[in-house]
Structure 1
Amino acid sequence: MFTGPRELRSVGKRIIWLSERPAWLESQRHQFLRHLSHELKTPLASMREGTELLADRVAGPLTPEQQEIVEILDSSSRNLQKLIEQLLDYNRKQADGPVAREAVDWWTVENVVAAHSLPARAKLMHTELTLQARRCLAEPALLISVMDNLYSNAVHYGAESGNIRIHSYRHGEQVRIDVANSGEPIPAAEKNMIFEPFYQGSHQRKGAVKGSGLGLSIARDCVRQMQGELSLVDAPAGQVCFRITLPSAPE
């Protein structure tokens, strides 16, 4: 109960603060992503230079296995550079509403799978591609970024010797793309939190590269920019499945 004008003024200030906070948080997020993208450019350039020196055999001859690893490093560093550029572009596009879309062939997902072949092979994981719907309406760079995030998560969080399934199919006027992996299910208490910025669940990534808690949040925003939706859906026991829903395109 309010006992006087002072309390009413205090409540009014609180309401104004709460109404302004979402816009402030959004601006802070964009500023952080912009700064993060710029800070990543210098170490990435050094990594690219080192990889090129190895590829040129400056440090000595390479075995076939080492050559394959260098090629994967080179490809991954180029992909990372593209992702950083896309992230900067994404921040610029956020204020512009939906992005321009075009018909995208889903076979481009093979490039994403190839980019993560080394960690998947190290965990003895098998990837199954079932692309019944071949095309959807999307912005190509954003879609590849989303798929890279989901597939990378499937590799790093998935079970040893497990399976990853990428399945695209039509559902009415939409295309659904399921990215599922065998592994420990996401706890029910965390399902509503995993798309929040910086949220890191109880299941941490394995390996040297740790998650930032931004990947799924950015992925969902990218899909929404393309007038679609990204969600965590129910899956058989022992599986985790994320679903992208986008408008279909003529086959």
Structure 2
Amino acid sequence: MRRLFGSVRARATLGATVVVAVALVAAGAAVLLSLRSNLIGQAGTQAERTARSVATELAVGKAYDQLSLDEDDEPVQVVDENGRLVAASKDLQRISGTGIDAVTPRPRPNASASGDDDGDGDDDGDGANHGGDHRGDDDDSTLEPGEIDENTTFASGSATIDGHHADYRFAAVKVDVEGRGELTVHAGAPLSAEQGAVRTAQTALLIGFPLLLGVVAGVTWLVTRRALRPVEGIRGEMSAITASEDLARRVPVPDTHDEIARLARTTNETLAALEASVERQRRFVADASHELRSPVASLRTQLEVALAHPELLDLQGAVEDTVRLQDLAADLLLLARLDAGERPGRARFDLGALVREAAARRTGVTVDAQAVEVAGSRGQLERVLANLLDNARRHARSAVTVSVRRSDGAQGAQAVLTVADDGDGVPEGDRERIFERFVRLDEARSRDVGGAGLGLAIARDVALRHGGTLTVRDAPAGGALFELRLPMAASEGLEPGRS
């Protein structure tokens, strides 16, 4: 069971079925209540019509034994203002719901059509004790002789007529009769039609609801299956990609414009990015192995020669190869940290002072550096500056110029560092490729003179992680000009010379 409802299709089907079931129960209850209320209202109307018909006969002076009480085989009672049953349906055997349980009329012994009585104080009442005598009563609710009350009182009950017991809706209408006082006519209308209709509706609902729920569940199951079929295709293809480790494969994109199609496209974009990342990682490992092979092989050769012929040991060459290995290892370590998402520090320092310190350790470098404060990793930015200066020195004919200034533009205050040389420059088509790892434009150049092709790649990665940019264009002197832009720290720049 737990496995079954772990399916999206099963949960969607169950949810839709439950929602429809609740809606159907609520609608069914409302229909039954409305039907019952309507039918009870119709029965009440019929009972009121009978009661008013009898009240009309009384109002015109008909005697009790001449009233039309048995035409519809429905229970009728006529009660005087003292609560005495004075007329009733012929075959009425039992009744409840009208407040008068008597079924046998008991008129006053000397009652007449004119309303004379025997003068018995218990039967006459004075109106004050029995709450109904209209004579001499100034109350607005008192009826005039021959007047029928416009108000009708309804109640539900039961009655037995000629051995047949049934439920009825009773209507009570008051009428004032000359000489008889205020009479109340109780007439009933059967509720058998209402009860039959309600039972029929209940039966239909009890049979129809399960069938309808079954249809809803089946349709939801099929529709959900069809809707989730592309998802299953995506899942199957992803499983195959995982098993085969072939990142060149792509998941099928359904010919729709819904969320599943967008999911498939996003999945393919993720696979493409992952494929590119893996390919870049493979190329990086291969290039790193290739770059490490040369100095290691050279150093091994020198050591083997020195082992056989100590007098031929080239200490300078061994030291240079060792330094190259050390620098390359440091570059690889920094790139690995950058690829791992290492965040730069938030130390604040003067970029102009950092440039002056780096230029002082090199010859042939002209500096024009303002005091501009930035925030980030001082060590990483120092490495960027060293890489740019070393790259410029390798390609410059005679001079390298470094400047630091502040720039205020649409992107806010920025620190702008430029490194320019008077060399051959960078062809426009290669100005992005030189920032790729292990890329050297002059492949025939001696590896002892050039670097491993990681310096500019490291410089751009560090710039991006500091929220800046690194670009290259033509220098005024005809060489290459590298421009590093970094966001300035929140406060104003420091005084020149301060770090």
TM bracket, shorter-chain basis: 0.5 to 0.7
The within-5 A match list for 1:170-181 is 170-172=406-408, 173-181=413-421
Alpha carbons 2:392, 2:420 under 8 Å: kept: yes
Structure 1: distance between partners of 2:329 and 2:360: 19
Deviations 1:8-61 (A, max 9, x none): x9xx82685644322213444675698799999x99xxxxxxxxxxxxxxxxxx
Counterparts in 2 of 1:155 and 1:205: CA distance versus 1, 3 Å: farther
SS in 2 for 1:148: helix
Query: Unaligned stretches of 5+ in structure 2?
Result: 1-236, 238-247, 252-267, 298-315, 495-499
CA distance in 1 between partners of 2:346 and 2:285 (Å): 26
Distance in 2 (alpha carbons) for counterparts of 1:231 and 1:163: 20
1:222 to 1:210, Cα distance in 2 relative to 1, 3 A: same
Distance 2:349 2:358 in 1: 14
Letter paired with 1:193: R
- Number of equivalenced pairs: 203
Q: Which residue of 2 aligns with 1:167?
A: 403
**Aligned mates of 1:37, 1:199 — CA distance in 2:** 12
Q: Where do 5+ consecutive residues of structure 1 fail to align?
A: 1-8, 44-69, 118-125
Larger proportion of helix: 1
The amino acid that maps onto 1:127 is V
SS at structure 1 position matched to 2:433? coil
1:1-251 equivalences in 2 (<5 Å) = 13=249, 18-28=272-282, 84-85=329-330, 87-96=332-341, 98-106=343-351, 107-117=353-363, 126-159=364-397, 162-172=398-408, 173-202=413-442, 208-249=448-489, 250=491, 251=494
Which structure has more RCO (C-alpha within 8 Å, separation ≥ 6)?
Answer: 1
Work out which of the two has the higher radius of gyration on C-alpha atoms and give 1 or 2: 2
Superposition deviation, residue 237 in structure 1: 4.9
CA distance in 2, matches of 1:101, 1:35: 34
What is the deviation of 1:202?
3.8
Q: Percent identity, please.
A: 27
Deviations 1:50-105 (A, max 9, x none): xxxxxxxxxxxxxxxxxxxx9xx9xxx6xx96885575255235333532222122
Amino acid of the residue matched to residue 219 of structure 1? A
In structure 2, do the counterparts of structure 1 residues 247 and 217 end up closer, same or farther at CA, with 3 Å as the change threshold? same
Q: TM-score, normalised by structure 1?
A: 0.64
Aligned to 1:58: none
Give the superposition deviation at 1:169.
Answer: 0.4
- Alpha-carbon deviation of 1:229? 1.1
1:63 is aligned to none
2:354 counterpart SS class? helix
Given the superposition, is the C-alpha separation of residues 227 and 36 from structure 1 closer, same or farther in structure 2, using an over 3 Å criterion?
Answer: farther
